[in-house]
Amino acid sequence: MYIKPGSMLGLLGGGQLGRMFAMAAQQMGYRVTVLDPAAESPAGSIAERHLQADYLNDQALDELGSTCAAVTIEFENVPAQALRYLARRCVVSPDAESVSIAQNRIREKQFLAENGFPVGPFTVVHDGQDLPRIDVSLFPGILKSSQSGYDGKGQMRIEHADILSEALTALGNKPCVLEKRLSLAHEISVVLARDNLDQITFFPVPENHHERGILDTSIIPATLSDEIVGKARAVARQVATRLNYVGILCVEFFVLGDGQILVNEIAPRPHNSGHYSLNACVTSQFEQQVRMLCGLPHGSTKLVQEAAVMTNILGDLWKNGEPDWNSILQHPQTKLHLYGKRAAKPGRKMGHFTVLADTVEEALQQTARIRQDLQ
């Protein structure tokens, strides 16, 4: 039994990940209802229906539950309670439990540590009273707000213990995680799909470069040893199985100079570092999300070309007005994606482009040329 095309699928959240989910769902003949409090959103503007209401609005949740065959999320900051409520009415994946772990850095770190997954040195800071007992070996560190941070937001770099109190206040005196700042040799991410029979498929593993805490580029395939990539996949598989996870899961990893891998964080949804799959894989992470939600078979995640480089387009690019998209589109092996956001703000993800090539070197060179033209 699977959920048939033509059915209505519900989506909590209206951002670009939701927009790409909706496009994949619509391509397969499904219809989509988006629940998002904003009047205008990347997913809300293309879905068949947009319920403009809060995520805990009973009426909106009842409407979703009674009209949708299945519901998923496009960002982790939806109240897990909403998913629990919906699960009484229709198929919901991922489940409330997985989302509640992934949406809170304290629960996430504790889940990972308690289950023996490799994580870097950290401590939980509930409030100012915890400050005197913090181990000095965690400095220089990064203080991360436990809830609703993304793209490096809700984080502060801490050089010494004496500025911790100030930083905690700057982050709103909310519970935080303090992590030791590590010297990273590489960052990679494992995006996988898991169904309710524990069958798992992996997407090719990208190497990710961040600028100011925001993903800048993903390079596919990662030019790391098979051993490191294999270890990361094995850990990601165990995380998904431990959560009894159904859907698309991303596990972000830090790779240290000695080859050690540490889990940075997990995302219970498609991930920015998996956007390359829209053009570089037989099945994208969004189509796979639709397949998992609807109880359909996994699609092949094979690369259709040897190499790809995905680059995010941030609002900063609009500093002198609308960029000239010909800089990207004149290259026939390069694909442009824009998310339909009206206002370009610095640091805001407006779109991305993916260069396809026969080798990683070629894809990187082409990317560098495009970036120069876009300046």
Query: The tokens of 66 are what?
Result: 């009674």
Window contacting ligand ADP (CB under 6 A); options: 75-83, 150-158, 331-339, 346-354 = 150-158
Minimum distance from CB of 197 to ligand ADP (Å)? 31
Q: Considering only residues 42, 149, 274, 351, which one is a binding residue for ligand ADP as defined by CB under 6 A?
A: 149
Tokens at 40, concatenated? 């205008």
**Stretch of 85-93, 106-114, 149-157, 221-229 lying at the interface with ligand ADP (CB under 6 A):** 149-157
The yes or no reply on residue 187 touching ligand ADP (CB under 6 A) is yes
Query: ω into residue 118 within 30 of 0, thus cis?
Result: no
- Asked whether residue 152 is marked as a ligand-binding residue, the answer is yes
Assess 120 for contact with ligand ADP (CB under 6 A): yes
Site string for ligand ADP, 245-264 (x = CB under 6 A): -------x-----------x
Nearer of residues 103 and 288 to ligand ADP, judged by Cβ: 103
- Dist CA 218 CA 224 (whole Å): 13
Neighbours of 113 (CB within 10 A): 13
Q: Do the annotations mark residue 362 as ligand-binding?
A: no
Q: Given strand 8-12, what is the order of strands in its sheet?
A: 49-51, 31-35, 8-12, 70-73, 91-92
Q: Is 105 annotated as a binding-site member?
A: yes
Q: Which of residues 189-208 bind ligand ADP (CB under 6 A)?
A: none
In three-state secondary structure terms, 214 is: strand
Residue closer to ligand ADP (CB basis): 9 or 215: 215
Q: Rank residues 61 and 188 by Cβ distance to ligand ADP and give the closer one.
A: 188
Four-point Cα dihedral 262, 265, 266, 269, nearest 10 = -130
- State the number of binding residues for ligand ADP (CB under 6 A): 17
Which residues are documented as binding site for ATP? Answer: 105, 144, 149-155, 179-182, 187, 210, 264-265
Q: Give the binding site for ligand ADP (CB under 6 A).
A: 120, 142, 144, 149-152, 179, 181-182, 184, 187, 210, 213, 252, 264-265
